[in-house]
Chain A
Amino acid sequence: MGFGHVLGVLGGALLAHAAYATIQYRAVLKITEEEFSSPPMDVMMQLLLGLALCIWAGLAVPAKFLSVLPHSEENRIVSLPANMDFMTFNHRGRALPSDPELKLKT
């Protein structure tokens, strides 16, 4: 659960509370026999705040964008394997020319 999830839950709770308040407001309107045009001001503020929080969460929670350029820094797959103890350098590969461009990913 990251920061984005918390914002999303908070926004969802705000929207649920706004929905509950609007239902009650409509019930009152039904008794006083008035027409519903829009919810009261505080409910509208709750809706806007909840919407903003949910937009933030909806943008922050899904996976981060990854670079599609083949030569970008994060797409380089040059790194040392984990089992370094078993690396051997004294083999026929020594006769082959090495790639000077090869470098460690930092």
Chain B
Amino acid sequence: MAAAAVGGISADVPIIHSENLTSNVKSIYYSRTFLSIISGVVAGIWGFTGLMGFVFYFLVMMVASLGLLVKAKFSIHTYFDSWNRILIEGVFGGLMLHSHIPLN
């Protein structure tokens, strides 16, 4: 709701710079894709299988969300239109990349 007041023209439709928003979301996708691969590698080496692997993946994604929050300097509405962009964007897409490496 805080973004709706921007511009002072309309109370319902927030005015945002859509090119910059696309760039920000793309940046988030890059981060999440890379971290999905890395978390898959670490889980594979450590020997996490089954449910433990999923728990580990979501743990890494939570840390990544915190990191993104720090990267956005804790002011979400300056860089994004909603909290979901930082918290869940790309998490379930990256799940497919989080595969285990058989070592033996």
A65 and B24 contacting across the interface, CB-CB below 8 Å: yes
How far does the Cβ of B71 sit from chain A's closest Cβ, in whole Å? 6
B35 and A55 contacting across the interface, CB-CB below 8 Å: yes
How many chain B residues have a CB neighbour from A under 8 Å? Answer: 38
CA A26 to CA B79, docked complex, whole Å: 47
CA A59 to CA B63, docked complex, whole Å: 11
Interface SS majority for chain B: helix
Knowing A36-B47, A47-B46, the reply to whether A70 touches B7 (Cβ < 8 A) is yes
B24 and A54 contacting across the interface, CB-CB below 8 Å: no
Knowing A22-B45, A38-B47, A59-B31, the reply to whether A71 touches B78 (Cβ < 8 A) is no
Knowing A66-B20, A68-B80, A70-B17, the reply to whether A59 touches B68 (Cβ < 8 A) is yes
How far does the Cβ of A66 sit from chain B's closest Cβ, in whole Å? 4
Total cross-chain contacts (CB, 8 A): 107
Interface SS majority for chain A: helix
Knowing A37-B47, A67-B79, the reply to whether A62 touches B31 (Cβ < 8 A) is yes
CA A51 to CA B95, docked complex, whole Å: 17
A82 within 8 A of B: no
B38 and A55 contacting across the interface, CB-CB below 8 Å: yes
Knowing A22-B103, A23-B103, A58-B64, the reply to whether A66 touches B38 (Cβ < 8 A) is no
A6 within 8 A of B: no
What are 24 A-B pairs at a CB distance below 8 A? A11-B38, A15-B38, A15-B45, A19-B103, A22-B45, A26-B104, A47-B46, A56-B67, A58-B31, A59-B64, A59-B67, A61-B34, A62-B28, A64-B27, A65-B71, A65-B72, A67-B17, A67-B78, A67-B79, A69-B17, A70-B17, A72-B78, A75-B17, A75-B20
